[in-house]
Amino acid sequence: MATYDLDEQERLDELKAWWKRWGSMVMIGLAVVIAASAGWRYWQHRTLTQSLEAAAVYEKLTQSLAANDAKAAREAGSMLIDQYKGTAYAPRAAMLLAKLNVLGKDLKSAQAQLEWAVANSKEPAVRDLARLRLAGVLLDQKQYDAALKTLSATHSDAYAFRFHDAKGDVLLAQGKQAEARAAYQAAFGKMQEDDPYRAIVELKLDALGGEAK
């Protein structure tokens, strides 16, 4: 029994010594874990709240556009970009506002909004679409080199034919017919046979002479 008590006391003394040396670090580590867990839960809640709020504002934006209420649409779009830039709705709002500005002949504002969408979207498909629209706006402003630079960015295969087609439009506007035809031919080769836009690209190729293939 005495041996048992001695062993127990020795272990207790070792534990006390260990705790005296490492206890403060253990407590700090525990506090960090608790704080991190609480921070993670807060971040999740905040992200969900932001997403729900942004969805409501985006719905207001689309409803305003459907009702031809440009003022309300601009207010909702600006709110999404200013207050909810981290959500997926903000780049989409910027693209809708850009379309509104194109219709209003304000190409500079449309360009700025599309550039913002390209820089801030985390979704490759949205980024690709924003780049295509940006290239179109740059083309309308005769900023050919900037348009070609925009179209030279890496993009998904799903949008490859559209990038080639847009590049053809820019090159044709520059008077580079042979290069434009090559771009249209690349677009034609990337398209599915049942794609309704295929006929339009074929018409562009026919206008430049030669057979589409």
Choice among 40-44, 83-87, 96-100, 194-198 with the minimum mean pLDDT: 40-44
DSSP for 89-144? Answer: HHHHHHHHHHHHHHHTT-HHHHHHHHHHHHHH---HHHHHHHHHHHHHHHHHTT-H
Average pLDDT over residues 18-43: 62
For position 1, what pLDDT does the model report? 47
**In the predicted structure, residue 21 carries a pLDDT above the cut 50:** yes
Task: State how far the Cα of 39 lies from the Cα of 131, in Å rounded to an integer.
Answer: 36
- Of the pLDDT bands very low, low, confident and very high (cuts 50, 70, 90), residue 6 is low
If you average pLDDT over every residue of the chain, what do you get? 85
CA dist list (Å): 86 to 56, 66, 125: 15, 25, 17
Question: Tens digit of pLDDT for each residue in 171-196?
Answer: 999 999 999 999 999 999 988 888 88
Cα angle: 86, vertex 88, 94; to 5 degrees: 90
Task: State how far the Cα of 161 lies from the Cα of 23, in Å rounded to an integer.
Answer: 64
For position 138, what pLDDT does the model report? 98
For position 53, what pLDDT does the model report? 85
Question: Tens digit of pLDDT for each residue in 97-145?
Answer: 999 999 999 999 999 999 999 999 999 999 999 999 999 999 999 999 9
